[in-house]
Structure 1
Amino acid sequence: MKKTLSLFVLSLFMVLNYSCSSDALDLNDNLSPTNPSTVAAATLLDVSYGADVNQKYDIYLPQNRTLDTKVVILVHGGGWTSGDKSDMSSFVELMQADLPQYAVVNINYRLANETTSPFPMQLEDITTIINDLKARNEEYIISEDYAFLGTSAGGHLSLLWSYAYDTQADVNMVVSIVGPTNLADEAYLNAADPIIQGYIDVLGTEVVIPFLETYSPFHQVTAAAPPTALFYGGQDPLIPNSQGSDLSNRLTQLGVTHEFTFYPEEGHGWTGVNAIDTWVKFIDFALEHH
């Protein structure tokens, strides 16, 4: 574990810009899944899984991996309308340093706008990514055991896909850092904040309660849900306190293994001691459940 750590979570509408190489490696060069000691680490950037410019992912494959190597999928935030996989670069670095036995997939997905709802579009993108990883698992030399780590809107997508779209039970665990869990929450519907209303409005023109519940992890979760870790801040201007606590209570009722960490003085992201606490808890959770 690194002695120093700076972890931050993106605001729903914040975009950070990083440079990203388009280097690619030939995975067929000198790789032998039957002899793990000969398998070199590999990084493939901007792997296309669709025709849209945003339908790309980066995959970081560890050295000496096997067909039992598990996969962690990172899902960026951005209010479903912005953001980029480069926003999760710090998580990639932390994963490689502290959990080097895992393969890491850092994804982009199609973004919503005034005329295009994020749902079910972005969930369908995740399905396509999972199918692509499964189809290429022998090429990549990885297992078909997946975990999600999502921040903000990416936390919402991670939870919802794991609860309602994982028809093959491929997800071993899901982690949400300040992700919305209940879009039908009165705290959202009655919010006067124009930012919150703006991100509700982007969901589409038919934003009625059944629609909101269909795309809410809180309303879609069942007793079959994978182990779940939740991290939320008490001063978050975009995520009402009820979002994390209500889902935690629902998971308790259903008997789903989970952990809920609430930082009363934190907002939509944090650094310092609480960031270290989040990362330590994430590592412990991953080692136990994935």
Structure 2
Amino acid sequence: MPFRRALAVLLLLLVLSAQAFALSVMDPFNLPAVMDGGTVKVGDGIAYADGPRHKLDVYAPEARGTSAPVVFFVYGGGWNRGERSDYQFAGRALASRGFVVVIADYRLVPEVTYPGFLEDSANALRWVQDNIASYGGDPTRLFLAGHSAGAYNAVMLAMDPSFLREYGVTMPILGVAALSGPYDFYPFEYGEVQNAFGAAPNPQGTQPINLVTPETPPMYLATGTTDPIVRMQNTERFAQKLKDSGVWVTTRYYEGFGHMEPVIAMGAMWRWRMPVLDDMVAFFQMFGAFPSGVPYVAVAPNPPEQLPEAIAPMEQIVDELNAMFQPIEN
């Protein structure tokens, strides 16, 4: 069976069998055949604190010389689901562009509510500060990135200094890349948001749009124009507030795409759909990722001409992923 047809059949079987065999719907994006080569997982399940949800993974380029810039990537899932293993493709994508990448689990609702998940990510950043040099990363060139609820978490860590201060994190955050994130969703109208934020003593203080100051780090904000979970207008309002406050913001609106597509397109399988990885790396480069001005030369991923025939099952997977989410804001 030709490779392309075999890949398409395998992806469809993974989706159809996910429930019966407890597979993640994200598994197709993490198949070795469709992830970036020239990368390695240099840290697997490292504990940054006690507890099963306090572990992290580290990805890096296989060929490492001088220390590399660091991306701390926070996955989404409505603050009530998600696993670091589901986002290997994102870690390897950024590692293929010369970054050392950290993906940390954090506690979820109902075990914790706001601000527990933010405190966990701040604690993981303390591990990065203390240890990332041993894995080839430069803690003075730190960027945050995230998708959906993870984009919210990343933005909040950059904007509310109390979380980092609590854990003694002093690394500068040079920039934040946020995909499909909610930044202005009070009052809390939907179930997932109410469960995560309903008990917050100062609900207005949970909203990134209310925390913008001239000291806010540069932001890259990207969204699909047809996202029904976190609508494009949320990004537009936040971007305008940043601009009004004199904060650098780069915006990207990917025409016709929904909620999950931007993060999926970081990986080699769907990278041809939109230039989100290139846009993100270009933003990081603007703010000092590679001081020499010459970014890392990426190792070519699996030949893209082998991937598009998998469009039919991939569309089914993406539809299933989008259906897992409830709206976060109007």
Quick check: 1:246 aligned with 2:244?
Answer: no
Q: Is structure 2 residue 145 aligned with structure 1 residue 146?
A: no
Tell whether the 8 Å contact from 2:40 to 2:92 is kept in structure 1 after alignment: no
Q: Which residue of 2 aligns with 1:29?
A: none
RMSD: 2.6
Per-residue CA deviation, residues 77-109 of structure 1 (Å, 9 max, x unaligned), is: 100000111222221222232x12x21111111
CA contact (8 A) 1:214 1:220 kept: yes
Could you tell me the percent identity over the aligned residues?
21
- Name 2:278's counterpart in structure 1: 280
Match of 1:199 among 186, 192, 199: 192
Cα distance, 1:224 vs structure 2: 0.9
More helix per residue: 2
* Alignment partner, residue 263 of structure 1: 254
Q: Is the 8 A contact 1:46 1:58 kept in 2?
A: yes
Distance 1:108 1:279 in 2: 22
Equivalent positions of 1:70-219 (< 5 A) are 70-97=69-96, 99-100=97-98, 102-113=99-110, 116-117=112-113, 119-144=114-139, 145-165=141-161, 166=164, 168=170, 170-184=172-186, 189=189, 197-206=190-199, 210-211=202-203, 213-219=204-210
Q: Please state how far the C-alpha of 1:242 moved relative to its aligned partner.
A: 2.3
Q: Give per-residue Cα distances to partners, 1:116-161, cap 9 Å, x unaligned.
A: 31x1111111111111121224433432131111011101101111
For 1:222 and 1:274, the matched residues in 2 are separated by 36
Identify which of 225, 249, 253 aligns with 1:234: 225
Closer, same or farther: CA 116–109 of 1 in aligned 2, 3 Å: closer
What are structure 1's unaligned runs of at least 5 residues? 1-14, 21-39, 190-196
Return the match for 2:25 from 4, 7, 16: 16
**Could you give the per-residue CA deviations for residues 240-278 of structure 1, whole angstroms, max 9, x where no partner exists?**
232100011011111111111123422113256884322
8 Å contact 1:16–1:83 — kept in the other structure? no
1:18, CA displacement in angstroms?
4.2
Aligned length: 241
Contact 1:232 1:244 (C-alpha < 8 Å) held by counterparts: yes
Aligned residue number for residue 64 of structure 2:
64
TM-score of the two chains, using structure 1 as the length reference: 0.75
CA contact (8 A) 1:52 1:110 kept: no
| Paired amino acid for 1:288 | M
| Structure 2 CA distance for aligned equivalents of residues 91 and 278 of structure 1 | 11
Unaligned ranges ≥5, structure 2: 1-23, 31-38, 290-330
